[in-house]
Structures are given as structure tokens and as C-alpha cells.
Structure 1
Amino acid sequence: MATVSDFVIQRIKEWGVNRVFAFPGDGIGEFDGALGAAQRADDGLQYVRPTHEEICSLMATAHAKFTGEVGVCIATSSPGAFHLLNGLYDAQMDNQPVVAIIGQQGLDALGTFTQQQSNLERTLSDVAVYVQTVVSPAQAQAVVDTAFRTARVRLGPAVVILPHDVQGMEMPELQPANWVSRSSAVAPSIAVTPPEAQIRQAAAIINAGSRVTFLVGHGANGATDDVLKAAELCGAGIITTLRAKQVVPSDIPYHSQQLGLLGSLPSVHQMNGCDTLVLLGTNYPYSQFLPPSGQARAIQVDLKPEQMGLRYPTELNLWGDVKSTLTGLIPLLEEKTDRAWQNTVAEEMTAWEKEMEAQAHVEYDDGVNPRRVYFELNKRLPPQAIVTADAGSTADWYGHHIRLRRGMMGDLSGRLATMLAAMPYATAAKFAYPERCVVCTIGDGAFQMLGLNELITIKKYLHEWENPQLIIMVLHNNDLTQVSWEMRTEDANPVWPESQDVESVDYAGWAKLLGFTGIHVTTDDEVAAAWDTAFATRGVTLIDAHTSKNVPPLPPHITLEFAKNTAEALLRGDPEEPTVLIDSAKALVTEGIERIKDTLHHDKKRDD
């Protein structure tokens, strides 16, 4: 007898899923039993069980990001479901298709205050694009299919709630009947192309511009060649959002990387000087870094119509996916012969990379320069490498120093910017691409949340990976560094050690206890050798980098408010005042010297 659980498992596979991230419990027990039988039958559906339900949902989200497939996570009723929320919000806010299968107490228990029974539909309705409890076997097919279909089309998490007794009920062969939907496990296309008239209008706007900038988001993933072709035709400079580093190769000379606090000065200059702005698959949230209203004619291309025209007053919004839209647009673009705009971006980017290198080689007395750690990593990234970053200062250094070449991947929790995501992201990437080298970069605060635990998951599954090389780099500075700097620069508050201090732990020693390679890095001179050892090791390596917490994550353009707030915070009794002043001065002097050198170089070229 095939049960509802048997059917759901088979249906998951029919939707193209070959891996689920799950944690068991009695509320999902009947379903777990069916999963166990499927595993014993070696039916092609891999069951991955990390150490926490939150990790399950973050891994499912990361799987969707790295593969373009639907990620699936599974958990028990109330406590398990609630633990999934953070990862499901990550999927929602970064527009990723995820399906969560969640257990529930039996039908007769609903609304009776039974242990672990809560109103899951109400709880999950804010995060999910679709949430439904299966109350009868005849309903299961339509609910599961609708969940997958909606997740893919609306690019967000969908939730299927399975009461415990329904999980074990016999699954009938569906016949034509009133109220019974017979659905299909067929994925709808999201290759949406706007009307031809709108594409022609977009081409006319772009052709009329002389200083065109493309702001490219993760929604342009898979359209790399199309983006580059369009930019080459219209002479556009390119800026990528942090999550879109992998979309545009770093060796494109007029690609100025990111914009904003963790971006580049050439990107700031592009925004200040462009007369045409084309947003491709991005809901870039920091509108203060976009041009003043009226400066640029703007076009946005996106599959999320509710997010178009939201950050900047666009002249034209094209509801479509980036690749299909560019396929229609490219033949209508006029090739520009004047490359002055692109050449300016390229020249400024060359100078910026020199400044980033100089900043990476500043030496500090209170720990390793964290920029140096990322700079040396970037020099050694092998082809096809995958890099993950966490929220916090790791995202700053990732933005400033990591340059992904064609074929490489990189990602992090974007709009949600949740801490601890770098570890489940890296592990999910390793499951999806077991032949590739994966590098996780994470701070010690985030690593203490769930990262220490996830080394256990890695140990459990290491033998399954064709290439067991996985490198974890922990920025060990005993501080919640990003928040410390935000307290100073945003609110003019001194750092409060009781909230910011992170207990020091021997992270390399913990890795060694699990049989991995652990490396302590306490000086700048040890950084390069540590990365060399890690990339030469066929296995797991943890680099415990004892870095300074007072290196300022300087934005490309320091505003008066930034400087004023920092000064006020220090005057109010910041416990790190002496070191912050010294380290900031070193960084600012290096920044000034590099920009003076660049100015002199440009003046000499002009005179010649």
C-alpha cells in the first residue's frame, strides 16, 4: 500500500529534486519512515541531516542559489518549523525557490492546545509564497504540485504541512470528482519576454545615452554572455551587486565590482556620472548610492514586478527575465564607437585595485590585517572555486578583495544578511558540486552560532565528496566587528564590550579534534603560507586567523556623517579608542597616498 508519504516523496523526485536537507521528529515521523525506506531502496533521493533545522533551511536556500533548482528542507512540527524560519526568510528575501515539508500533530489535535501543535499556517504565512495543510490524501497531489510550481514562479519559499495521521493514510488513484484536483508535476517556464514595443522603447533609451551603466544583480545569473554583449555594444560600464559577483567575470576591465559601503570608488563615480542606468535583475536596496532623481534615464528588468521602480524613478519597467529580455534587446542596440566612458571606468578600476592591494599590506599592531587574509586568498583561488561569505565584516572584505573569474561562484545571505549562513552555504555548495574546491569565510561571532556544530556535519559526509577539499577561514578577533563599527559610524555610540565581546575559542584546535587540519595565523607573514597549505591539502582545513578588530571597513567615499559619528563615538569613551585611532589613521594614510599617486599618474599622462 502506497501512503501519502510515499506519494509525496515520489512527487518530490518528479519535480527534479535529488537531495533534501532534513531533521527528524515525531511530528514528521511517518514521513521520515517512508524516507528511510526510500533510502534503503536506493531510490536516488539523498537525505542530508545537519545539526539543526535552521541549517536545513539555509542549506536548501543555498542549494537553490548555487544550482537554480528548487531547494527542499524537511522538519517536524512546531519547534522544528520555527527553527526553519530564518532560512526560509533568507529564501524569501533573496528570491529563491524553496519547498519546506513540515510535520504537524494529527488532524483531531488541531486547535486543541496539544503538545507541539500550533497554527503553523498562520506562523508561516508571512514568509511563504504558498502555505497549505494537507487534510486528506486526495488533496496531497495538488498541494505538493502547487507548492513547487509557486516556489518556482514566484521565486520564494512554499510550505506543505503534513499532519502525522495524514502522512500514513493510503494514497488513492485520483479519479474525476468534484473538489478533487488532478495536477501535474510540470515546471512552468520563467523565461518571460516583455512585449516587443517595450523592448524597442528600452533600446531607444539606451541608444540615446552616452554614459550608460548596467547595475547587474543575481537575477541576471545565467545571462553572463548576454550582459557582456549588450554592454560592449552600448559602451556601458558594469557594476554588480554583492550577490552578483559571479555573473560578470572580474577580468572585464570596465566591471567596477560593487557599489556602496563595501563597493569601489569607480562604482561611485559611475553613479555620479551616468546619464542612463539599466538595472538588470536587482532590487539593490541602498538608494542613497544611486544617482540623484532626474540625472539618469533609467530602465529596470526583473521577474518581480512589485520591486520595479522602487529604488529609483525608472522611466521604463520591463517585466521579464534578464536573459530573454536581453536576447530581444541586443539586436536593437546601436554599437557605439566612443569608448571613453568604459575606458575611464577601466583606468579608475586599475587604480582602485592598487589601493586595495596597498590596504591589504598595511600592518597593524593588534592583529593580522583581515584585508591581507582575503587578498592572499583571492590570489590563490583555483578555477571553478566556490566562495561563501558571512554577514558582517567578512562581507566587507569579500566585496573589496575577492574577484570571481568566469566559472567561479560566490554567494552569501543578501537582503536578510543573517549571520552564520556562510557555513551551511559552503556545505550545500559542496553537496551540489563535490568535485569543486569550496572556501567558507566567516567571523568568529557567526562561527560560534552554528558553525562549530557544522564541522560535525562536514565530518559526517566528507567521505561522499569526490574532492574532499573544503577550507574554512575564521576571522578570530573576539568581537562582533561589523556591529561595533556600525555603532560608531551610524549612531555615534562607543562600543559596549558587554554586547560586543566574543569569547575566544581555539577554532583550529576544535578542527583538529575532528581530524581536520587546523592552522593558527597570528602574523601577516603567516597568511600566504596558511593558504598555500590549505590549497595543498586534500581534505578539510580550518584557518584560525587572529585578526585586528579595529581595521576600519572604509567606504570608497567617506561622508561627513561617517567621520563625525566615528569621532563622537570615540569621544564618548570607546574602549578601543587608542587602537581605532591608530588603525584608522594607517588606513586613511594608505588610501590618501594611493589616490595621490593615481592623480599624479593621470596628470602626467595628460601632460604627455
Structure 2
Amino acid sequence: MSSPTVGDHVVSRLGLWGARRFYGYPGDGIGGVVSAIGRAVEAGDAQFVQVRHEETAGFAATADVKYGGSPLGVAVVTSGPGAVHVLNGLYDAKLDHVPVVALVGQTASNALGTSYYQELDLVRLYSDVAGEFVFQVTRPDQVQHVVDRAARTALERRTVTAVVLPSDVQDADAVVEVPQGHGYTHTSAVPGSLPGSPRTEALAQAAEVLRSGRKVAILAGAGALGATAELTAVADRLGAGVAKALLGKAVLDDRLDWVTGAIGLLGTRPSYDLMRQCDVLLMVGTTMPYSEYYPAPGQARAVQIDVDGTRCGLRYPTEVNLVGDARETLAALLPLLEGADPDPSWREDIARWNHAWDAWGAERAQAEANPLNPELVVRGLSDRLADDHQVAVDCGTVTSWFARDLDLRPGMTASLSGTLLSMGGGLPYAIAAKQAHPDRPVLALLGDGAMQMNGLSELVTVAQRWRTWADPRFVVVVMNNRQLSFVAWEARAMQGEVPFDAAMDVPDVPYAGWAELLGLAGRRVEGPEGLDDVLTAAMSADRPFVLDAVVDPNVPMIPPHVSLDQVVSTAKATLRAGAQGDPAAREIVVEGVRETVGAAARAVRDRVRRSE
């Protein structure tokens, strides 16, 4: 039996840190590591998921952790162009605080510095995305320490690290035993203890602030995932309403009367009102960046819980910052909240707001559209989700429909590129969710722009792998509006410009037909007639299913709050665009302005009622 190589040692050592699933694409610059993964796969100790593009490897490694598949994501890419391609997916991990290690191939050591093929200064290139730890190995006896440092740093700092491996070093014999002596260091592959709860004094201070509130609002983000029971108990004790940042959508059941749903530009009116009327704010595992959707400064006393103290007080002036695990911290807080005296009408108000918003949502979904209303599609999917569904979402107008129209229940998971907001991540996320939990159904929501960016090629990965899944249910819904509609809306609303057709238009592609060519299932829907039957067939199909939903690009994304100034600005922009020849202007005036003015009227009416 031959001696283990450096590549073998890298793979086995990462396994000790819990990383046994590798996403990547082979190349000669990373060949030694890929061969080692192959040997580990044969031994049943690893899994390699070959994707169609290195960017997907970064997205999928990130999503694997987000969906609870692995504690540590790993992307494996070759030198030069492979190392460049993966960066976008790695930045997704960095910005969403997900632990990922990048194994990056490099030109052979003897050729470094000679302007050889595919030679890049990878340490310099990765110094931002993997700024906490990036190292280029030059000797086999460095590898054990470097892998441990990369894994430990990624996990402890919840960030991206990178190990750069010249091709000749990967194939060298591993050096595991390190001498005991001056100049040599030793290492451990044992993770640190999990974060606990804050000190008693800080908990008492936080409890005093929270008990003082009569109208408490909670904003929960991704850091609250896994703390559903504890968050519910604290919310009930305080009589609080809870809004959710986009990455925290799966924290609580969307159907609860006191849960107002998403917050921010794509959020709900009840979440906006919750923040505008609360007197105490508790933030749990979130740094949602849109400051205009928080209470006004000085309006509310505030407490923040986060595992990373550097993120506390970043978005709103807080009185107490609790650094610790959300679940343990909330559990420690709960007994200290005895004596809270919430206003009994607060949750009644929240329930009333929610019911009015839900009624308006149902009305929006049934509104006439040409040819199909996207909200009608998403609401139809919501009714058909299984209790253990995993949902992957891309970025664009589809994100708005997901945030507002898809109800998540306990047991479901959902994620997307939350802070980077990158298009092209939806299908890589869905693939990673399925690889992490092959016995659970998956729903992927994509716009047609995102489907053409990465989805069409990664559907080949789905076709390659689906027969290995215990549950074949994997539904890809493409919102086909033949336009980069989110960008087009931004052009109209923010610049008051006619969208530039050559830049905004997206070719109409037979997505369902492409799926069928790959041996998958698919249907195209061009109107509300028969939609229910197609949705039912898609969600129960015996193989992955692509639903090509031809939807109206001019269904407006109404902000959760609408002022009269915004109504005037929208009308001016629309009229100016119409005068400049925007072919969609008439439909936008008929549909968008009608809804915008209606929303403004409701806002004014509510304001008058509150003043009486």
C-alpha cells in the first residue's frame, strides 16, 4: 500500500472537522486533492459533488452549511481561472457569516514566479474573501497545522478561509509526525466549545429593559435559527410581535397572529407598523441593514443578542448587548422576564394588521395579469409545501414573492444569498440542500435571468444526481417574465427612466423543454387556467420537475410603507417613462399606481384612526 499523500491528509484531516462533502470541479492544478477525495469516496468517507462551474461550488458549499448538512463547507477548485470563478460563491459565505474552507490549486512550486500558465498570486487574490486566514503551503510538514488553522478559524469566526496547494505538494508524501523541538509547532483537530450565554449581570440588565416595554417588538434573523422554542417562549412572556429578516424567515411559523413576516423593502406592512409603534426592541441574531425599517432613534429601548459582539449596536442604538448563542441566551433570559406587563391590546393590533395584510395579499394574487400573476403562483406553491420542505430562492422580484407570499411552517428550511444578494445562487442552493438531506423535498424559486445565469447548466447536475436521492421531489419554478424585472423597476422608480430594452430584456427559453431533454419532467404555464393541476403534478412528480411559469413583469412590488410623496414620485416617473415610449407604462399606471395609491390611502386612514 502506498503512503498517504498530502492530498489524502488534507481530505482526512478536514473529515475530523466534520467536512465530508466536497463541491468542486476538477483541473490539473487541484488534481492531487481530487484524486485523494476519490479514494475517500471509495472508502465511504467522503462525497464529491461535481458541479458545472466553480461559482456553483462556492454557493453550494455555503448552502450545505446553511441547510444543516455539514458544520463546515468545502469548495475545491483548480488554479488560475478556477480560483477566480469560485470567488462570488465564497463572498456569499463571507457576507452571510458561514464557515467555508476553499481548497485552491496552484501552479507547481518550481514554476512559481516564472509567469507560468494559470499562475496567479492567490494569497493576494484571496486576502479579502479569506482575510482571516489564507496560506500557501510550500512543504508537506506544514499541511496538518494549516488545515487545522483554516478549519478552526472558519468555524470560530464563521467566515471563509483558504488553503492554496501547489500541484506538486499535493502529490508529495504526507508528513504527519512533527518533531518535538524548537521551531516546530503541534496542533489539534478538536473544535472549540460552543458559545454559551452572557454573564449574569448583563442578562439582568437586558431583562430590566425588556420588562419595561408595553409594546415589545422582536427582530429575528439567521442567528435565531435553531432557537424557535426559546424565541417563542420569550415572545409570549413579553407579549411581543416578531418580524423576521430574510435569512431568518424559517425561524417562526408565518401563520402565527403575532408574527408579522419579512421586514425591509421586500417586507410586510405589519412589520413596518410593528417597528414604528413599539417601545422596546429585541434583536436576535440579525444585522438587517435597512435602518429606515427600524424604530426611530430614541423611540425604543433596545437589546441585541448576537454570537459576535462586533455586530452589536451596528444598526440601532442599543442599551444592552448580549454576546452569546441565541438559544442559550434566550433560555437564560426567560426566567428573568417574570413581571413583564405587556399592553394586552398590542398583540390584538398586530393580529389585526396581519389579517388585513393577508387579505390584501390574496387580493393582489387574484388581480388580473398578463398572462399570469407571479404572486398567484407562489401562493399556490405555499399551500402545497410538505412539512419538511427545503426552499432555495434566487435574487430578484422572486425574492419579494418568496418573502411575502410563501408561508413557512415548523420543520421547513429556506435560504438564499442574503447579504451579497447575488443572482445565480438559487439552483446551487437547491442542489446543496438536496445533497445535505436527500430524503427531503426541495423547492427552488428562480427568475428567468438567474435561471439563464447558472440554472440551465446546473440542471445538468440535477439530471446527473437525482437517481441517488432517497426522495426525488425537486421542483424548480422559473418566473419567466422575459425581463430583468427587478432592475427594470429600479430604473423606473429610482431614476425615472425608461428601461433600456437591450439591457433589460431576457430571451424566452423553453425551460420545461430543456428539462425534458435531460430526462426530467417539465411543464409550461401561460395563464391561470390549469395552474392548480400543474402545481399539484409538480410537487408530487417522481423526478425533478421544472415549471416554466410565464408571468407578468409589470405586477408591482409595493413597498410596505407608502407615503404621499412616494405616490407622486411614482406617478411622475411612470408618466415620464410613458412619454419616453416605455411600452409597459400604461399597464404600470393601471396596475401599479392603482395599488400604490390604494396602499397610501390605507396608510393615511390608519394614521387618522391612530390620532383619534
SS, match of residue 381 in structure 1: coil
Q: Give the counterpart letter for 1:9 in structure 2.
A: V
How far is the alpha carbon of 1:181 from its aligned partner?
2.3
Q: Deviations over 1:367-405 (max 9, x none)?
A: 200110111111111111111111110000001101110
Would you say the 8 A contact 1:362–1:586 is kept in 2? no
**Whole-Å separation in 2 of the counterparts to 1:469 and 1:565:** 45
| Aligned 8 A contact 1:488 1:565 in 2 | no
Counterpart position of 1:184? 188
Which of 201, 204, 207 pairs up with 2:208?
A: 204
CA deviation after TM superposition for structure 1 residue 411, in Å: 0.8
Counterpart of 1:584 in structure 2: which amino acid?
G
Q: How far off its partner does 1:337 sit?
A: 6.1
Partner Cα separation in structure 2 for residue 507 and residue 28 of structure 1:
34
Aligned amino acid, residue 156 of structure 1: T
* Aligned-partner residue type, residue 577 of structure 1: A
Letter in 2 for 1:164: S
Deviation at 1:598, TM superposition (A): 9.9
Question: What SS does the corresponding residue of 1:524 show, helix, strand or coil?
Answer: coil
TM-score if structure 1 supplies the norm length? 0.95
Describe the SS at the equivalent of 2:142. Answer: helix
User: In 1, Cα distance between the equivalents of 2:307 and 2:113?
Assistant: 38
> Partner amino acid for 2:478?
V
Query: C-alpha separation between the residues in 2 aligned to 1:538 and 1:561?
Result: 51
**Partner residue of 2:242?**
238
1:534-585 per-residue CA deviation (whole Å, 9 max, x = no partner) reads 1221211111000000111011212345434433433142332112212214
Q: What residue is the counterpart of 1:344 in the other structure?
A: 349
In structure 2, do the counterparts of structure 1 residues 509 and 590 end up closer, same or farther at CA, with 3 Å as the change threshold? farther
2:91 is aligned to 89
Question: Which of 150, 163, 167 is matched with 2:166 structurally?
Answer: 163
> Among residues 378, 385, 396, which one is paired with 2:389 in the alignment?
385
Secondary structure of 1:312's partner? coil
**Does the residue aligned with 1:353 lie in a helix, a strand or coil?**
helix
- Cα distance change on mapping 1:294 and 1:492 into 2, 3 Å: same
- The alpha-carbon distance between structure 1 residues 526 and 587, as it changes in their structure 2 partners (threshold 3 A), is farther
Percent of residue pairs identical: 38
Partner of 1:606: none
* Runs (5+) with no aligned partner, structure 1: 604-608
Distance in 2 of aligned mates of 1:558 and 1:250 = 23
Query: Equivalents in 2 of 1:387, 1:598: separation in Å?
Result: 35
For 1:4-23, list aligned pairs within 5 A: 4-23=6-25
Distance 1:188 1:597 in 2: 55
Q: Which amino acid aligns with 1:361?
A: Q
Report deviation, 1:213: 0.6
Map of 1:58 onto structure 2:
59
User: Aligned to 1:21, what secondary structure does the other structure show?
Assistant: strand
C-alpha displacement at 1:210, in angstroms? 0.8
Which stretch of structure 1 is more off in the superposition, 494-503 or 570-579?
570-579
Look up the match of 1:75. 77
Shift in CA distance, 562/136, structure 1 to aligned 2, threshold 3 Å: farther
Deviating beyond 4 angstroms after TM superposition, the runs of 4 or more aligned structure 1 residues are: 588-600
The aligned counterpart of 1:582 is 590
CA-CA distance at 1:197 after TM superposition:
0.7
Asked if the contact 1:495/1:575 (under 8 Å) is kept, the reply is no
Post-superposition shift, 1:596?
11
What CA RMSD, in Å, does the superposition of the two structures yield over aligned residues? 2.1
What is the rounded CA distance, in whole Å, between the counterparts of 2:605 and 2:166 in structure 1? 68
In the alignment, residue 586 of structure 2 is paired with which amino acid?
P
Give the direction of change, closer, same or farther, for the CA distance of 1:506–1:593 in structure 2 (3 Å limit). Answer: farther
Residue 146 of structure 1, aligned match among 144, 149, 173: 149
Residues 28 and 123 of structure 1: is their aligned pair in 2 closer, same or farther, counting only changes over 3 Å? same
Q: 2:451 matched to which residue of 1?
A: 447
Matched, 1:49 2:58: no
Residue identity opposite 1:89 in structure 2: Y
Instruction: Give the conservation status (yes or no) of the 8 Å contact 1:386–1:429.
Output: yes
CA gap 1:292/1:585 in 2 versus in 1, 3 angstroms: closer
Q: Is the 8 A contact 2:562 2:599 kept in 1?
A: no
Matched with 1:282 is 286
- Could you tell me how far 1:319 is from its partner in structure 2? 1.7
Task: Show CA shifts across 1:473-511 (max 9, x none).
Answer: 001111001011011112222211111000111111111
Amino acid at match of 1:64: V
Once the two structures are TM-superposed, the CA of residue 259 in structure 1 deviates from its matched residue by: 1.3
Partners of 1:594 and 1:473 lie apart in 2 by 33
* Range that drifts further, 404-413 or 185-194: 185-194
SS in 2 for 1:525: coil
Distance in 2 (alpha carbons) for counterparts of 1:233 and 1:167: 56
In the TM superposition, what is the alpha-carbon distance from 1:110 to its structure 2 partner? 2.5
Query: Which residue is equivalent to 2:507?
Result: 503
Change (3 A) 1:595 1:305: closer
Query: What's the CA shift for 1:525?
Result: 2.5
Moved more, 188-197 or 428-437: 188-197
Which residue, out of 300, 304, 307, partners 2:308? 304
**SS of residue matched to 1:410:** strand
Structure 1 CA distance for aligned equivalents of residues 283 and 303 of structure 2: 6
Q: Is the contact between residue 27 and residue 164 of structure 1 (CA under 8 Å) also seen in structure 2?
A: yes
Aligned partners of 1:158, 1:487: CA distance in 2, in Å?
A: 37
Structure 2, unaligned stretches of length 5 or more?
A: none
Q: Deviations over 1:396-417 (max 9, x none)?
A: 0001101110001111110100
Letter in 1 for 2:77: A
TM-score after normalising by structure 2: 0.95
Contact 1:217 1:280 in 2 (8 A): yes
Match of 1:117 in 2: 119
In structure 1, the residue matched to 2:364 is 359
Q: How far apart, in 2, do the equivalents of 1:459 and 1:586 lie? A: 44
